[in-house]
Amino acid sequence: MDCPKCVGVLKERKIGTKEPVTVNVCFVCGGIWFDKNELELLINKEIFDTVEFNLEGEPIGDIDLKKEIDLDKKEAICPCCKGSKKMIKKISNRNKNVSVDFCKDCGGVWLDSGEYAKISRRSPIEKKMEVIIDFLRLHFPHIFKENL
């Protein structure tokens, strides 16, 4: 797939060890493509597994050029629907300061470099849930039925 924001090509990357989620990352601009529901799945997986995934790679493009071209303001074409299917800007439900590119046809989401870290930050309630999950996993492992 072609990057919706730059000239890069998206490469698949598996995230997580148990039941990994496959996302597509642009190694030129550092953006990430999530198919429908993958973003929510990955964030929920981080909370339930009490781990944090580092999806943010350093883009390999010219840093000075990136400062001149604000990719967040650039119009995105859906890499799945192709053609001229323009994506719409949508405010993230998890962080009102982040606008993501959303395809209303296929449900895919594009995050520019750095946006995943901003929207995957855990809320105070999610942090408390992690403590409870860790406690339950430690004292009642049969509840989780993890394959070891």
- 99 vs 74, 102, 114, CA distance in Å? 12, 9, 12
Which amino acid makes up residue 79? P
How many residues in the chain? 148
Domain enclosing residue 62, as ranges: 10-144
Count of the separate structural domains present in the chain: 1
- Between CA 63 and CA 44 the distance in angstroms is 32
**Domain presence at residue 2:** no
**Domain presence at residue 3:** no
What's residue 136's pLDDT? 82
- Whose tokens are 């995230």? That residue is 15
CA 118 to chain centre: 10
**Domain presence at residue 1:** no
Which amino acid makes up residue 70? D
H runs (alpha helix) in 5-123: 38-48, 63-68, 115-119
**Domain presence at residue 45:** yes
Q: Is-contact 33 42, C-beta < 8 A? A: no
What's residue 10's pLDDT? 92
Which tokens sit at 97? 């300061």
Low pLDDT (below 70) residues in the chain: 17, 46-72, 83, 122-123, 126, 144-148
**Domain presence at residue 23:** yes
**Domain presence at residue 83:** yes
**Domain presence at residue 60:** yes
What's residue 99's pLDDT? 86
**Domain presence at residue 4:** no
Terminal CA-to-CA distance of the chain, rounded, Å?
A: 35
Q: pLDDT tens for residues 76-114? A: 889 888 767 788 898 887 778 888 899 999 999 998 888
What's residue 35's pLDDT? 93
